[in-house]
C-alpha cells in the first residue's frame, strides 16, 4: 500500500532504498535520464497530453479576458452551474 507508513517513508526518506553515488546538482537523489524515462513511460504521449492542457488553459484565459465575468456573484454562480451541467 503506497499510502502506508513504509510507502510514505520510502517516498520521503528513501527507506529501504539503496544509496546512490553523489552527483553535482542532484546530490543523492536517484537520477533518471531521458533514455530511462523513455523505457519506463510513454514520454511522447505525456508531452502531447501536457501540450493539450496548456492549449486549453490558454484558450480559457483568452475567453476570460475577452468575456469578463460580471461583478454580480449570483449571476456568476449561475454561469458556473450552467457550465458544469454542460460538462456532465
Check residues 12 and 57 and name the one with the higher pLDDT. Answer: 57
What local confidence, expressed as pLDDT, does residue 22 receive? 72
Does residue 84 lie within any of the structural domains? no
- Taking the C-alpha atoms of residue 51 and residue 14, their distance in angstroms, rounded to an integer, is 32
* Residue showing cell 497530453: 49
What local confidence, expressed as pLDDT, does residue 51 receive? 94
**What are the tens digits of pLDDT across the range 2-56?**
567 777 777 777 666 666 677 777 666 677 888 988 998 899 999 999 999 999 9
**Residue ranges making up the domain that contains 64:** 5-71
- Taking the C-alpha atoms of residue 49 and residue 77, their distance in angstroms, rounded to an integer, is 30
- Taking the C-alpha atoms of residue 9 and residue 15, their distance in angstroms, rounded to an integer, is 6
Does residue 76 lie within any of the structural domains? no
Q: With beta carbons less than 8 A apart as the criterion, state whether 17 and 10 touch.
A: yes
Number of independent structural domains in the chain: 1
Does residue 87 lie within any of the structural domains? no
pLDDT level of residue 60 (50, 70, 90 thresholds): confident
Per-residue pLDDT at 62 exceeds 80: yes
Amino acid at each position: 500500500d503506497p499510502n502506508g507508513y513504509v510507502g510514505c517513508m520510502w517516498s520521503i526518506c528513501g527507506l529501504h532504498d539503496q544509496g546512490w553515488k553523489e552527483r553535482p546538482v542532484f546530490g543523492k537523489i536517484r537520477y533518471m535520464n531521458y533514455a530511462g524515462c523513455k523505457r519506463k513511460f510513454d514520454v511522447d504521449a505525456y508531452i502531447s497530453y501536457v501540450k493539450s492542457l496548456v492549449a486549453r488553459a490558454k484558450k480559457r484565459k483568452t475567453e476570460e479576458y475577452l468575456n469578463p465575468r460580471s461583478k454580480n456573484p449570483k449571476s456568476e454562480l449561475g454561469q458556473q452551474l450552467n457550465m458544469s451541467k454542460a460538462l456532465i
